[in-house]
Amino acid sequence: MCLALPARVTALLEGEQAQIDLGGVRKTVSIALVPDAAVGDYVIVHVGHAIGRLDAEEARRTLALFAELGGAAGAPAPAGEVAT
């Protein structure tokens, strides 16, 4: 099973890289597949690669669903909220 998560781009870096924020966790990912990504955009991240863009409302709904599913499974909800 594969899972891709929405994350907000916080900085564009050299070499088709960007820093993203996912619930307070910051990572560097490749944006080679999403070259038009900009700071503040939400991207779908899978295995260190941004594979698409989505709007802030869709990101909020998706992260809320993950938090709800995590709570139903007895796991702690992801930290942070999506800023709109």
The pLDDT assigned to 70 comes to 75
pTM of the model: 0.76
13 falls within a domain: yes
80 falls within a domain: no
User: How far is CA 46 from its chain centroid?
Assistant: 9
- Confidence band for 3, pLDDT divided at 50, 70 and 90: confident
- Confidence band for 63, pLDDT divided at 50, 70 and 90: confident
CATH number assigned to the domain comprising residue 20: 2.30.30.140
Q: Which structural domain range is residue 33 located in?
A: 5-72
81 falls within a domain: no
Domains contained in the chain, number: 1
Q: Which residues contact 34 (CB under 8 A, 6 or more apart)?
A: 43, 50, 51, 52, 53
33 falls within a domain: yes
Per-residue pLDDT tens over the stretch 25-60:
999 999 999 999 999 999 999 999 999 999 999 998
Instruction: Assess whether pLDDT exceeds 70 at residue 78.
Output: no
